[in-house]
Amino acid sequence: MSQSINFARLKYFSEEFTKAHQYDEILQELKKILKEEEKIDETLDKKFIEVIETQYLTLSANTPEIEKFLIKDSEIILHPQSRHYFVTEKLWQVLEEEIFKQSQDIKNAKDFLYLVKDCTEIEGYYSKKMLVFEAS
């Protein structure tokens, strides 16, 4: 079954908090907080994240490079009952490569500009250590 990647930004933590911590520290803090929750994805959607609407960027979670991160006991999954993953440095490198591959298929300037806008937005949240995605 084909799965798409849907990006979101963390809204639970402030930029000041994420700036002062490493990617893994933020992930561990999220996991600790979510451990106490019952309806994980509902809680994430209401309290923790805000969906990023992309105009052009569409990535599949079904590439071998990305699937390596989406295993059952993945270290980047926010909770075992969730479909949400935190974007770390290692995963970002893979996502960059997949975005580059998608850019190779663009035939017109307008689509390219939409892709650039999408990438600028998601990279901004990644650099602030606030980027997550749902594989669905």
- Residue 100: its pLDDT value, please? 95
83 vs 55: CA distance, rounded Å: 22
The total domain count for the chain is 1
Domain region containing 73: 4-135
- Residue 25: its pLDDT value, please? 95
pTM comes to: 0.92
95 vs 16: CA distance, rounded Å: 25
62 vs 3: CA distance, rounded Å: 6
The token duo for 92 is: 């970002």
Mean pLDDT of 84-100: 95
